[in-house]
Structure 1
Amino acid sequence: MNIFQALVLGIVEGLTEFLPVSSTGHQTIVAGLMGIKIDDPSVTSFIAVIQVGAILALVLYLWKDIQRLFLAWVRGLRSADQRRDPYYRLAWLVIIGSIPIVIVGVVGRDLVKGPLRSLWVVAAGLILWSFVMLYAEYKARQTRKDTDLTLKDSLLIGGAQALALVPGVSRSGATISAGLILGVDRVTAARFGYMLGIPALAGAAVLETPDALSGGVGLWPTLVGTVVSFVVAYFTVAWMLRFVSRHTIRGFVWYRLGLGALLIVLLSTGVLSATGV
């Protein structure tokens, strides 16, 4: 992978990681269009590592929320009185909600890095999950805030996040949809899903960094992709949270359906191959 390709993939990562359109799906499509073998372990490791930039952007943007949760959690561990703080409970819900993707990610790591990288899988994920998003908007009542979340909510939203390991589904699309179905308002669902994404993305990056640096991608392309994803992701997060405060996520559905259909056409006509080569 050269510097230009790393730059492009960094932009794609930053633009799509926190939108309900599937960052992995878009990375896979763009990599295929650039002639990069998308089922190469070093490439999948590179894509996981440049997510560090997106993580740092998210942490920076949500720093006050993260600080409040962390301090409430620490105080609650030390004092029984402090455990009445709703943010102490919310901190535990973020921790518990992160467990499903850790389990699925570790158990299915080889599957995620191999067979699921097919562009046919991406097309299917984009199209099929779109109907879940439409159903979520149909069911949306938005009567619940972050302090109303329960252990069941945390596990269900966390379980939905684990489904996003399938390229095309989308981490934010999955968590926002699950939140809406559970009656949570869009902004809370988005922010909670983003919180769950921090340990998930960080864990993936830690696991994949050695392969990315030593498996053929190299230090400089990895560094460029990470820095670019950081800058682009920061502005994307800010835009997305403003967007969901005023709009539904149906607009993303039509984009996903169109992209999935286009991808099927490109694959069927041989313009793209399932593995990008």
Structure 2
Amino acid sequence: MVTYLEIFILAVVQGITEWLPISSSGHLVITQKALGLNLPLIYSVTLHVGTLIVILTVFRKDIVKIIKALTKADFKTEEGKLALYIAAGSIPIAIFGFTLYDFLKSLFSSLPAVGTALLITGTILFVSEKRKGNKKINTKNTLIIGLAQAFTIIPGISRSGITVATGLLQKIDKTAAFKYSFLLAIPAIIGATIFEAKELTTATIDIAPLLLGATVSMIVGYISLKLLQKIVMNEKFHLFSYYCWTVGTAILIFTLIQ
């Protein structure tokens, strides 16, 4: 049985790492191992709901404009095009998650997988700093970013890190890359929430810890998202690569000496 303190710790970790480019899923695996926990995925999904609310709050104006464009079927405006780009970019992760669900679920108990994935994340973050540009997003860009997002289901591959970095590598304007990355997260998180909701009917779960986790991850997540926005704008994004390399290497060394 998970305690309130344990769910609080997990929620803080989720809130901090969901938006910073260091992989929330990877850190949740590490934290659960450290606490000796093996929670149903519904707990992870609930924590993601808290951070989803953060996106809906921070990007509410953009979301309203996109919804208005959709209701008018107006795909010639910037918002209308963005709606299509989000839809196109969401296809790869839907296919990837649905077809490889059982394999991906097994990775959430694998520290070596997390360590290796963090090394990959760090490398991509580091390389992305070398590419700067002011290009606008187009269909090709969105499909490539969407494909990159598909791999972020793997714990240790940072969703925010990889999607923003992929945009920067294509010389997309940093503001546009940041916005698209997080708007693209909305259908991915909603899809994961719906897909994992079936666990509520197959396991006896106390609702109170879930509500605590969602609330804490929402508050902490809001702070970390605002922090990441400043980091991207100040072109310090690549500095997280050193953290990912350090933690990834430490995990692999730990698993070898165990």
Q: Specify if TM > 0.5.
A: yes
1:112 aligns with 2:104: yes
1:219-234 equivalences under 5 Å are 219-234=207-222
Alignment of 1:91-130 (within 5 A): 91-115=83-107, 117-130=109-122
8 A Cα contact 2:89 2:143, kept in partner: yes
Partners of 2:81 and 2:189 lie apart in 1 by 22
For residues 91-124 of structure 1, the C-alpha deviation after alignment (integer angstroms, 9 at most, x for no partner) is 1111111111111111111111114530100000
5+ residue gaps, structure 2: none
Question: CA shift at 1:177, angstroms?
Answer: 1.4
| 1:189 shift after superposition | 1.3
* Structure 2 residue 134 is the aligned partner of structure 1 residue 143: yes
| Other-structure match for 1:215 | 203
Q: 1:168 is paired with a residue of what secondary structure?
A: coil
1:142 partner letter: G
Q: Show CA shifts across 1:161-218 (max 9, x none).
A: 0111111111011101110111112232122111111110111112213315753543
- Counterpart residue number, 1:275: none
TM-score, scaled to structure 2: 0.94
1:260 matched to 2:252: no
Residue 148 of structure 2 corresponds to: 160
Residue aligning to 2:32? 31
1:170 and 2:162 matched: no
Structure 1: gaps of 5 or more residues: 271-277
Counterpart in the other structure of 1:206: 194
TM-score normalised per structure 1: 0.88
After TM superposition, the structure 1 = structure 2 runs for residues 178-197 of structure 1, keeping only pairs within 5 Å, are 178-197=166-185
- How far apart are residue 65 of structure 1 and its match? 1.0
Question: Is the CA contact 2:152–2:159 (under 8 Å) kept in the aligned structure 1?
Answer: yes
Tell me how far 1:135 sits from its aligned partner.
1.9
Moved over 3 A (4+): none
Q: CA deviation at 1:263?
A: 1.4
Structure 2 equivalent of residue 56 of structure 1 = 53
SS in structure 1 at match of 2:79 = helix
Distance in 1 separating the partners of 2:201 and 2:159: 25
- How much has 1:230 moved relative to structure 2? 0.9
- Using the alignment, how far apart are the partners of 2:143 and 2:133 within structure 1? 19
Given that residues 213 and 219 in structure 1 are in contact (C-alpha distance below 8 angstroms), is that contact kept between their aligned partners in structure 2? no
State the number of aligned residues: 257
Identity %: 28
The alignment's C-alpha RMSD in Å is 1.6
**CA contact under 8 A between 1:18 and 1:236: conserved in structure 2?**
yes
Question: Judging changes above 3 Å, is the alpha-carbon distance between structure 1 residues 63 and 267 closer, same or farther for their aligned structure 2 residues?
Answer: same
